[in-house]
Structure 1
């Protein structure tokens, strides 16, 4: 998979590394911003009671 991404982006190696790092950062941001809140809503919340 990494070799497909490596061949997909044009330019020298240092530019490819920067573009791949930016793509990873964008993917993580999208997952945290959109996917995780949606999944958290879908999961049932545990009912925790604290008593004596």
Structure 2
């Protein structure tokens, strides 16, 4: 999985490394700001009955 991604990025390896870090940060931000809050509303742990 990582090999094709590495080969698809343009430039020499320092540029690829910077692009990969930016891409990973963008995915992390997307997960934290959009995906996880959306999934959290559908989880049953908010419906607590004792």
Structure 1 stretches of 4+ with a deviation exceeding 3 A read none
RMSD: 1.3
Match of 1:2 in 2: 2
Higher radius of gyration, 1 or 2 = 1
> Normalized against structure 2, the TM-score is what?
0.88
Structure holding more helix per residue: 2
Structure 2 unaligned spans of 5+: none
> Normalized against structure 1, the TM-score is what?
0.85
Whose relative contact order is higher, 1 or 2, with alpha carbons under 8 Å and at least 6 apart? 1
